[in-house]
Amino acid sequence: MDSLKYTKIAEVNGHMQAEFFKSFLEAQGIDVQLFEESFAQSSYVSPLAMVQVFVPKERAEEAHQLLASYEEFQPEQEDEEGEDEA
């Protein structure tokens, strides 16, 4: 018997990235819950603490597709050596 209503769709490094994903998915009408290890929320917070991203089970596939489409369309970073300069 599976009584859990939420499922984990991602685990990211850092609260800032997790909050971005949360805002992105909530803008699409998907409820999001974030979970961090309790020690990560102490006064000695690591900016790269692992954060788990959970959504309702019935919206998990949609959330995966939205995040995949977001990651697919990220602009490429410019080359630091400036190859495009003449």
Asked if 7 and 32 count as a contact pair (C-beta separation under 8 A), the reply is no
CA angle 56, 9, 75 (to 5 degrees): 120
Domain locations in the chain? 6-69
Q: Is the pLDDT of residue 79 over 90?
A: no
Tens-digit pLDDT profile for residues 47-56: 668 889 999 9
Confidence of residue 8 (pLDDT cuts 50, 70, 90): very high
**Alpha-helical segments (H) within 1-86:** 15-26, 60-72
pLDDT of 32-77, one tens digit each? 999 986 554 555 556 668 889 999 999 999 999 998 877 655 455 4
CATH number for domain 6-69, candidates 3.40.50, 3.30.1490, 3.30.70, 3.90.105: 3.30.70
